[in-house]
Amino acid sequence: MVGKVYLVGAGPGDARLITVKGLQCIKKADVVVYDRLANPQLLKSMKQGARKVYVGKLPDRHTMKQEEINQLLVDLALEGKIVTRLKGGDPTIFGRVGEEAELLRQNGIFYEIIPGITSAISVPAYAGIPVTHREMASSLSIITGHENPDKLDQSIHWDKVTNATGTLIFMMGVAKIGYISQQLITHGRPATTPVALIRWGTRAEQETLVGTLSDIEEKVLAAGFKAPAVIVVGDVVLQREQLKWAEFLPLFGKRILVTRARSQASELVDMIEELGGEPYEFPVIEIVKSSEPQDVLGIENAFSQLDQYDWIFFTSTNGVDFFFQHLMEQQCDVRALYRARVIAVGPATAESLRSRGIISEQLPERFQAEGMVDTFANQLQPGQKVLLPRGDKGRLWLPEKLTEMGLEVTEAVTYQTIISGEDDDELLRMFEEHSIHAITFTSSSTVTNLLEIMRRMGIEDPVKQLEGIETACIGEITARTAKEAGLSVGMIAEEATLASLVQALCHWNGNTQTYAKV
């Protein structure tokens, strides 16, 4: 049975700018064929077991030739695979989609072309440059600038293109900027015409250089400005000083590695994106219901006496979630908790309880075990019974302290924290290129597991590999684990909350404004 090929535009770089249909094609593909202009974060949406094939440039080989890519798509489809060919921007704008589609048609393979948001328009927008303006430009041209001067002259009629539209967009023309500028001046554009080059637009590396046709080459050389970039020529460039916005976002220019469990990462990812950062998800832990025989027996014992407890201490949202899962499985009635005072370690845990109809007692001033004990120390009496639902990697300080104070503590290990994380070639590449700027750790397990997974991926000295990358920890306990592992900790959240962690990242990036809601 012959498969099918989806020729998908991945958008300009920001993973959120892919179309809904494009993302659907990634999710259902058996194989995703991609290059460096497609954000690797999009590959996180692939289904389990799907294969990814990189056809861009690698240190040990040049970019796969277009003819080879065309044939690869055919071969994969003939194997019966559903293939998504992921191309930066829009596949029909200098994306050579016609060549790929032609060979597919010749081989009787069904395909679809899924448009994407072209970088010709979106990248200038992220730099604060609208490509049209009622008073400045009512038309635009999109022109390739990648070829050598001879080919440029063959494909571009300079005498017609130069003044055909108010705005000229050149794609991939950084190396030829001097020649392009000279041709435009020669054919009638004033030397004072504004020019902007936007490099890696919509990504963490976004950089904008502004000049005129007469001086832009000199500025490019002086700045060492490199491809890939979009070139905008025309008076619309003057709008940038009034309309630029991305640079003002507090996490602009930073790519942040998120190591939290996939089931919990979305809130942190959303916060980072909202504030202009580029998160890269690499979950290193997985939270699963405990199935160890001794844990199951302990849960049965703990739940058999729910009406006997004076206190229940919840030290995480996971503790709440899995407690109620076990509650249902044991067919226990929540009303059995009528006499227990319920304590949450912090606001997120309290909200998780509130969503289930249970209001926590006063929150501790410090959102950790020590704070819970400090807050209720004068109310905790010897002989009182405490239920402590927790994970298998939970700290022993709390049960030991409560026992020392004379309380009867019943621990119920309701969930396990296990190592996760598939080998990730893209992450290794980003480490090598030093394009990860910060790492967030939300528990001690995320620290130890990341280092272990890096070793598994072939990094002999993970701590050395992470030198130069800022480390942000959600609290003192996590920071202590990171320091003991040899990492340099640059940021510790004032409160053990995601909002406080993100606030620390903003301060680190030079933004001291306080965000009440992110």
Q: Mean pLDDT across the stretch 89-98?
A: 92
Look at residues 87, 117, 147 and tell me which one is the last residue of a structural domain: 117
Residue 513 placed within a domain:
no
Are 138 and 238 found together in one domain? yes
Which of these ranges, 40-54, 163-177, 197-211, 415-429, has the smallest mean pLDDT? 415-429
- The one catalytic residue among 21, 35, 136, 310: 35
Asked if residues 281 and 262 have their Cβ atoms less than 8 Å apart, the reply is yes
Are 189 and 301 found together in one domain? no
Q: Mean pLDDT across the stretch 175-185?
A: 94
Q: Which helix (H) or strand (E) holds 438?
A: strand 438-441
Distance of CA 258 to the CA centre of its chain: 7
**Nearest one of 200, 139, 140 to 174, comparing CA atoms:** 200
Each residue's pLDDT tens digit, 420-478: 867 888 899 899 999 999 999 998 999 999 999 999 999 999 999 999 999 999 988 89
d(CA 25, CA 32): 9
Which DSSP string corresponds to 253-277?
T-EEEE-S-HHHHHHHHHHHHHTT-
CATH at residue 174: 3.30.950.10
Give the per-residue pLDDT at 460.
93
Asked if residues 314 and 342 have their Cβ atoms less than 8 Å apart, the reply is yes
Percent of the chain with pLDDT over 90: 66
Are 242 and 144 found together in one domain? yes
Are 111 and 131 found together in one domain? no
CATH at residue 107: 3.40.1010.10
Checking if the pLDDT of 313 tops 70, the result is yes
Task: Supply 203's token pair.
Answer: 């990504």
Which DSSP string corresponds to 322-357?
HHHHHHHHTT--GGGGTTPEEEESSHHHHHHHHTTT
What total of structural domains would you count in the chain?
A: 4
Q: Catalytic: 172?
A: yes
Look at residues 221, 248, 275 and tell me which one is the last residue of a structural domain: 248
Residue ranges with strand state E in 132-277: 140-144, 167-171, 194-199, 207-212, 229-233, 255-258
Number of Cβ within a 10 Å radius of residue 185: 17
pLDDT classification of 516: cutoffs 50, 70, 90: very low
Checking if the pLDDT of 515 tops 60, the result is no
Are 310 and 355 found together in one domain? yes
The residues near 24 (Cβ < 8 Å, ≥ 6 apart) are: none
Are 129 and 226 found together in one domain? yes
Q: Mean pLDDT across the stretch 493-512?
A: 89
Residue 385 placed within a domain:
yes
Asked if residues 290 and 416 have their Cβ atoms less than 8 Å apart, the reply is yes
Checking if the pLDDT of 57 tops 80, the result is no
Give the per-residue pLDDT at 149.
66
- The pTM (predicted TM-score) of the whole model is 0.83
Residue 14 placed within a domain:
yes
Are 377 and 264 found together in one domain? no
Residue 107 placed within a domain:
yes
Q: Catalytic: 35?
A: yes
SS3 379: coil
Q: Rounded to the nearest 5°, which phi and psi values hold at 117? A: -75, 115
pLDDT classification of 145: cutoffs 50, 70, 90: confident
Are 340 and 273 found together in one domain? no
d(CA 261, CA 268): 11
Q: How would you class 35 by CB atoms within 10 Å of its CB: exposed for 0-12, middle for 13-18, buried for 19 or more?
A: middle
- The one catalytic residue among 21, 52, 172, 457: 172
- The one catalytic residue among 57, 65, 151, 464: 57
Q: How would you class 439 by CB atoms within 10 Å of its CB: exposed for 0-12, middle for 13-18, buried for 19 or more?
A: buried
Between these two residues, 155 and 329, which has the higher pLDDT value? Answer: 329
Q: Which domain holds residue 366?
A: 288-419
Look at residues 229, 248, 267 and tell me which one is the last residue of a structural domain: 248
